[in-house]
Amino acid sequence: MIKIITKTPQELEYLGRRLAQFLQPGDFLALDGDLGAGKTVFTQGVAAGLGITEPVNSPTFTIIHEYQSGRLPLYHMDVYRLKQPEELYDLGYEEYFYGQGVTVVEWAQMVAPLLPDEYLGMEIAVVPEGRELRFAPFGSR
């Protein structure tokens, strides 16, 4: 497991931007952390790093936002409001989870049984110094 501390939202966004340079079609980021920890800020950085120029906001009420303007499509999901993982079936989640874009899921632990075999798990925690990010890769990639 890799741990990184960011001191400002700008550093958190920058980290997402840097990670985006290495993302490939089909990559999946599973984000977890308390409300306000910075999951969306990190995702905004990923979007910027992919070359997406439109505003990126949390899809809390719509569950999924799609962004097609970057070098890869970005599928941003916020599953906080789901009562059970199976609710993703109605949204056609397989197209996103196993598509040719990059999928970022906030509150991923809520749909853990449906996560793909290969993904990068990330937990963002508020700490006195700022935000602590813990990265845990799953699968061979």
- Residue-wise pLDDT tens digits, 63-103: 999 999 999 999 999 999 888 888 888 888 899 899 899 99
User: What pLDDT score was predicted for residue 88?
Assistant: 86
In this predicted model, what pLDDT tens digit does every residue of 45-57 receive, in sequence order? 999 999 999 999 8
Instruction: Judge if pTM exceeds 0.85.
Output: yes
pLDDT > 80? residue 141: no
Residue 20 burial (10 A CB sphere; 0-12, 13-18, 19+): buried
Taking all residues of the chain, what is their mean pLDDT, rounded to a whole number? 93
Give residue 86's pLDDT: 85
pLDDT band at 1 (very low <50, low <70, confident <90, very high): confident
Q: Tokens at residue 3, please? A: 């741990």
Angle between helical axes of 9-20 and 39-49 (0-180°, round to 10): 40
Distances (CA, A) of 19 to 14, 92, 95: 9, 27, 23
**Rounded alpha-carbon distances, angstroms, from residue 68 to 15, 18, 29, 56:** 21, 19, 17, 12
Binning pLDDT at 50, 70 and 90, where does residue 61 land?
confident
Mean pLDDT, residues 57-64: 85
Rounded distance, CA 14 to CA 22, Å? 14
Whether 25 and 52 have beta carbons less than 8 Å apart is answered as no
Residue bearing the bigger pLDDT, 84 or 29: 29
State percent of the chain over pLDDT 90: 79
Cα–Cα distance, 85 to 64 (Å, whole number): 14
Beta strands in the chain (DSSP E): 2-6, 28-33, 64-67, 74-78, 102-106, 119-127, 130-138
Type of residue at 119: Y
